[in-house]
Amino acid sequence: MPEPTITHSTHNLRNFYGDEYTIYCTEEETQFPDGCLITSRTDIHGIITHANDAFVRMSGWSRDELIGSPHSILRHPDMPAVAFKDLWDTLQRGEKWHGYVKNLRKDGGFYWVYATAVPNIRNGVVEGFTSVRRKPDPCKVAECTELYAKLLQEEHAA
């Protein structure tokens, strides 16, 4: 992720595999366009195997950069770990998950989505996951912003 030339914060994170990486965040929000759906697929480890054009545009990454990368490259530091634990626990049970997610763009900005993720099951075996994201309800985004800040405080206090 390139360092933005505008005012930003720097965060050092650790991914699911224990690798540390640095991200940069700005306060620049990209609004989710009306009538748009973002779709992607991952393997069972969360590695992106498909990204539609809307995903490429909204994320700011090229398709070549997205394919083969962990979906966690979009994880914004304002998202509490418990949200992703719930997502993965739900998917591992073979169930559909819904939720509001603040995603990080390549340029350090962000965008909110209402996400639905489902396991791709073939012959009784989960082979990966499909996610469809759509424009979020602004009132729900406001609620989630407050809730996620509280959950992050609790995580940092623990």
- Tens digits of residue pLDDT in 40-58: 999 999 999 999 999 999 9
Q: Does the structure show a pLDDT above 80 at 15?
A: no
Question: Looking at residue 17, what is its pLDDT?
Answer: 67
Give per-residue burial for 80-116: e unless 16+ CB within 10 Å, then b: beebbeebeebbeeeeebebbbbbbbbbbbbbbbbbe
Taking only the tens place, the pLDDT of each residue in 75-118 is 999 999 898 889 989 998 889 999 999 999 999 999 999 999 99
Mean pLDDT of the chain: 92
Considering the entire predicted model, what is its pTM?
0.91
